Amino acid sequence: MQLLDGKFVSEKLKQEIALEAAEILERTGRKPHLVAILVGNDGGSETYVASKMRNCEKVGFNSTLIFYENTVTEAEVLNKIEAINVDPDIDGLIVQLPLPNHIDPEKITEKINYRKDVDGFHPINLGRMQRNLPSFIPATPYGITLMLQEYGIQTAGKHCVVIGRSNIVGSPMSILMAQNSSTGNCTVTLCHSKTPDIKKFTLDADILIVAIGKKNFITADMVKDGAVVIDVGMNREISATTKSGYKLYGDVDFENVAPKCSYITPVPGGVGLMTIVGLLKNTLASAKREIYK
């Protein structure tokens, strides 16, 4: 079993991103600039956004955090997005989910200029990705493909089973793994909460990508020997034994599944770190005008 070390790979790729950001600064006199909008005081969201901002600074980007209380109106957020859309100094914009119930996340996503949608959630980006056209790819699937590439994991001709059908991870992941690309060309099965007898599918998976949001959902008897297992789960539980006051668990029972795998990601230390790299690479591409001229 070999660990897919998100910390090692992310640090390597961030060094490469920093070099390109420095070249942009030298050539144009400006840094790539990412703006994040955070609404409310969700602990997980605050932690994740803070990490994104720190990583921007680390690779030489400018970063701006715009915070609103839960009482902010939908119109106020939409107006701020409109102002950011037309600001030539801003290359990327993300709005951290979840949002309060009175704010429609679809309205928010569609309001973002797709040329600055570095989370890759806008329908235009998702549609272009589905057609294998240049686009901003959703950050988590993008990070996973980068990890597969860095470890030289062969995907062509393999059976990839994706558990979870969200627009953020599962659905775009299934499309990417099936595409004619260096980290694609798989035969893909997409399973979800309504799939009967999921074990029948997971046991046949050469590559198993799990993003269902249930602690230890995948157990050892559901994984075949030699499989590559990518655990996207980030399940937080209160803990008295950690400094932060909570502990993270994946969707995979790591301790018992790992001995059966050829490769597996840990939680934490795996996909979460690669998600940030995907976001940084999208922001860099936006600053370089690589995708949308």
Phi, then psi, of 67 in degrees rounded to 5: -110, 135
Shared domain for 107 and 147, answered yes or no, is no
**Angle, nearest 10°, between helix axes 6-28 and 139-150?**
110
Shared domain for 192 and 99, answered yes or no, is no
In tens, the pLDDT along 109-151 reads: 999 999 999 999 999 999 999 999 999 999 999 999 999 999 9
Q: What is the pTM of this model?
A: 0.95
Decide if pLDDT at 243 tops 80.
Answer: no
Shared domain for 171 and 230, answered yes or no, is yes
Q: CA 288 to CA 190: how far, in whole Å? A: 34
Decide if pLDDT at 244 tops 80.
Answer: no
Contact 122, 141 (CB under 8 A): no
Residue 290 maps to a domain: no
In tens, the pLDDT along 150-170 reads: 999 999 999 999 999 999 999
End-to-end CA distance of the chain: 43
Q: Which helix (H) or strand (E) holds 274?
A: helix 271-287
Q: Which domain holds residue 211?
A: 139-272
Q: Could you give the number of structural domains in the chain?
A: 2
Residue 281 maps to a domain: no
Shared domain for 172 and 218, answered yes or no, is yes
Domain containing 239 — which CATH number? 3.40.50.720
Of 14, 31, 96, 281, which residue is the catalytic one? 96
Residue 22 maps to a domain: no
Residue 258 maps to a domain: yes
Helix intervals (H) in 59-94: 74-85
Average pLDDT of the chain is 96
Shared domain for 150 and 255, answered yes or no, is yes
Determine how β-strand 263-264 pairs with β-strand 228-231.
Answer: parallel
115, 130, 160 — which closes off a domain?
115
Of 52, 80, 111, 281, which residue is the catalytic one? 52
Q: How confident is the model at residue 41 (pLDDT cuts 50, 70, 90)?
A: confident
Burial 92-126 (b: 16+ CB within 10 A, else e): bbbbbeebeeebeeeebbebbbbbbbbbbbbeebb
Domain containing 52 — which CATH number? 3.40.50.10860
Determine how β-strand 2-3 pairs with β-strand 246-249.
Answer: unpaired
Q: CA 1 to CA 78: how far, in whole Å? A: 48
96 given a catalytic annotation = yes
Shared domain for 207 and 92, answered yes or no, is no
Decide if pLDDT at 222 tops 80.
Answer: yes
Task: For residue 134, give both structure tokens.
Answer: 């240049």
Of 91, 117, 119, 206, which residue is the catalytic one? 119
Residue 200 maps to a domain: yes
Shared domain for 92 and 148, answered yes or no, is no
Task: For residue 83, give both structure tokens.
Answer: 């102002």
Burial class (CB in 10 A: 0-12, 13-18, 19+), 238: exposed
Residue 199 maps to a domain: yes
Shared domain for 95 and 163, answered yes or no, is no
pLDDT of residue 110: 98
Q: CA 233 to CA 218: how far, in whole Å? A: 11
| CA 285 to chain CA centroid, nearest Å | 16
Task: For residue 95, give both structure tokens.
Answer: 């709005």
- Proportion of the chain in helix, strand, coil states, percent, rounded to 5: 40, 15, 40
Shared domain for 43 and 75, answered yes or no, is yes
154 given a catalytic annotation = no
Residue 38 maps to a domain: yes
Burial class (CB in 10 A: 0-12, 13-18, 19+), 242: exposed
Shared domain for 148 and 98, answered yes or no, is no
Residue 278 maps to a domain: no
